[in-house]
Amino acid sequence: MEDYLKQAIEIVKAQASVRNMNEDEITSMIKALAGSIRGITEGAAPVAETGPAIDPKNAIREKSVICCECGKSFKVLTKRHLITHRLTPEQYKEKYGYKKGTPLVAKSLARDRRKTMKDMKLWERRKKTTKAE
């Protein structure tokens, strides 16, 4: 096995020991790091990843959402994180083919939020306040 691949695996092992990573994240991170390390050791510019870190169709999962730019896993893909990639949420959704109204949130969290809002019945409270006036 090449030295750059061994180095990439060691870096990813260290990262995986600190946070939960799924198989897709580990694989894409190893590929990206190995290419970068090889490029640096050979004196060439680091190999830029041409496609997304993960397939956008599989990025929004039950318990996490994975950034298609870097492959990191989150419960909510925030505007603050997207700024690190020089993207707004709208640009990110357009770039990866998401509909405008698609929340960049884990499916379970979105479901819990929906349930909480239904339980709160805010629309009934609004009707009562407008009738009282």
Q: What is the pTM of this model?
A: 0.55
Q: What pLDDT score does 60 carry?
A: 92
Q: What pLDDT score does 48 carry?
A: 52
Q: What is the greatest pairwise CA distance in the chain?
A: 75
CA angle 107, 56, 74 (to 5 degrees): 50
Q: Which residues of 102-122 are buried (b: 16+ CB within 10 A; e: fewer)?
A: ebbbbeebbeeeeeeeeeeee
pLDDT tens per residue, range 94-120? 999 999 999 999 999 999 999 999 999
Q: With a cut of 70, which residues of the chain have pLDDT below it?
A: 1, 44-51, 132-133
Element spanning 115, H or E: helix 107-120
Q: Calculate helix-pair angle for 3-18, 23-41, nearest 10 degrees.
A: 140
**Euclidean distance between CA atoms 104 and 119, whole angstroms:** 23
Contact (Cβ atoms closer than 8 angstroms) between residue 54 and residue 68: yes
